[in-house]
Structures are given as C-alpha cells and as structure tokens.
Amino acid sequence: MEHTARLQQVLGYQFRDSDLLDLALTHCSVGGQNNERLEFLGDSIVNHIIAEALFLRFPASREGEMSRMRASLVKGDTLAEVALELELGDHLRLGSGERKSGGHRRASILADAFEAVVGAILLDSDVEQCRQCVLGWFDTRLQQLTTGTVEKDAKTQLQEYLQGRSHPLPVYELLSVQGEDHTQQFQVACRLRDPKLVVEGSGPSRRKAEQDAATLALERLSNHDL
C-alpha cells in the first residue's frame, strides 16, 4: 500500500482493495496475472463516460461530430498523455525486457494501464465514483473542446472527397507486419480506382497505417500528382 500512496493521492482516489491497483499496474510482460482484463473493462467505461459527457455538454451536436470528439479524447495517444499526467509510468510493473526498452514511457502501455486503473476503480467502488475520477482527469480537455474544433480524420476526409465526386471508395490492403509484438510496424496500401492511385502508409497499428496512407492519398489528390 505504501508504494502506491503517492499515486493514489495523484489519482484523487483511495483504494479499499489495494491489490486491484497493483493488478492494474502489472503489465502482461511480468507473466501470470496482469492488467489485460481490467484494461478490457476500463476501455468500455471510459468510452461510456466520455460519450455521456459529450452528449450532455453539446446538446446541439450531431452524432458524427460527437463521435469525432470522443475519438480525439479516448484515442491511445490521449490516454497515454493522461497516464503521464497521473504519473502511472513511475509505478508500472514490467518484465525485464519491457523495463530495459523503456516500456514505462511507451504510449500503448501507458494507455492500457490507464484503462486498467479505471477498471480497477470501478470494481473497487461504483460507476458514479468512477465517473467523477474520469471527468476530473479529462476536465481541461473537455473544457477546451468546442464544436468544429475536432477535424475529421484522414480516412473520413478521403471518403467524403471521393463520395462528393461520385468516385468509388478506397480499398485498404494490409501489406506486411514487421517487428516484435510491442514494436510492430504495419504497412498498408490505399487503392483508388477513380482517379487511379495507389499509396502506401505505415504505423504502429493497422489503424494508424491506414490513416497515414489516407493522408498521403489526400496530399496527392490535392496536388494533382496522379
């Protein structure tokens, strides 16, 4: 309990069952019991709390705009930023390999740990207490959001560009996956039939590789470099 006392102060929540917090901070590289199940639970509750907050805060916003705002708040990079602000990285339990490679600073590990901590708080208390914690951690980001400030992602922009010209939608094809599980690099092709164009994008996940490819396709289209 003492080794997480500082963390609980930063979180603004005191655990009744400190074993839940310990489990939430235990990465799968340690072996045995880890935070993956809590991460699954936390992912669902974070999405619910943020969606509810946006629904209440922006009564005039349409579904698409609220979806983009939610995506900007619950994406891995944002969750990792919040995890850093909460100093989760200083308390993670990692296997030796992850520890040596700087896993306590890796965005994906931090984001997963954040979701696991949320899941742990839910199990240790209730939905209302969990909601108060999450909204407190996201308060500044929620305050800064205004309608129209969140841009559509590249895949959405490309789709709308093509639909607006009655062209077929793009097709994304996974070309390769390289590297170890925690350092994978995905290569994806984005194929357009009209205008005829093929570009390739890369990223640490298939989703990010597709976004990268869509960004490149938009740049080519805007520059008429076909």
- Which residues have a catalytic role annotated? 43, 115
Q: Would residue 102 be called left, alpha or beta, if left means φ above 0 and alpha means ψ between -120 and 50 degrees?
A: left
Burial (Cβ within 10 Å: 0-12, 13-18, ≥19) of residue 172: middle
Is residue 101 within 8 A of residue 75, CB to CB? The reply is no
Buried b (16+ CB within 10 A) or exposed e, 149-164: ebeebbbbebeebbee
Residues 6+ apart with CB under 8 A from 85: 137
Dihedral of the alpha carbons of 45, 4, 86, 185, in degrees to the nearest 10: -70
How large is the C-alpha radius of gyration of the chain?
Answer: 20
Task: Return d(Cα 22, Cα 93) in angstroms, integer.
Answer: 8
Q: Are strands 171-178 and 185-192 parallel, antiparallel or unpaired?
A: antiparallel
